[in-house]
Amino acid sequence: MGKPFFCVLEGIDGSGKGTQLWLMERRMRKEGFEILATREPTQTLTGYFLKIVLKMGDIHPLTDCFLFAADRAEHVDKLILPALNENKVVLCERYLFSSIAYQTMKGVDETLIRSMHEFALMPDLTILIDVSPEVTMKRKEQVLHYEGEKFENVEFLTGVRKKYHELARRHHMVIVDGDRDEMVVHEEIWRIFKERYDAKSVQTDIARFVDEE
Total site size for ligand TYD, rule CB under 6 A: 10
SS3 (DSSP) at 199: helix
Q: Establish if 13 lies at the interface with ligand TYD (CB under 6 A).
A: yes
Contact yes or no for 142/94 (Cβ under 8 A): no
Nearest approach, Cβ of residue 166 and ligand TYD (Å): 16
Q: Establish if 98 lies at the interface with ligand TYD (CB under 6 A).
A: yes
* Sign, CA torsion 18/47/109/152: positive
Contact yes or no for 16/27 (Cβ under 8 A): no
Nearest approach, Cβ of residue 30 and ligand TYD (Å): 25
Q: Establish if 188 lies at the interface with ligand TYD (CB under 6 A).
A: no
Nearest approach, Cβ of residue 12 and ligand TYD (Å): 8
> Is the Cβ of residue 74 or residue 197 nearer to ligand TYD in the bound state?
74
* Sign, CA torsion 166/13/134/132: positive
Distance CA 160, CA 51 (A): 20
**Pick from 10, 40, 124, 130: which binds ligand TYD (CB under 6 A)?**
40
Which of these ranges, 78-86, 93-101, 118-126, 183-191, lies near ligand TYD under the rule CB under 6 A? 93-101
* Sign, CA torsion 162/210/82/76: negative
Q: Establish if 99 lies at the interface with ligand TYD (CB under 6 A).
A: yes
The end-to-end CA distance of the chain, in Å, is 32
Nearest approach, Cβ of residue 41 and ligand TYD (Å): 6
Q: Which residues bind ligand TYD (CB under 6 A)?
A: 13, 40-41, 68, 94, 98-99, 102-103, 152
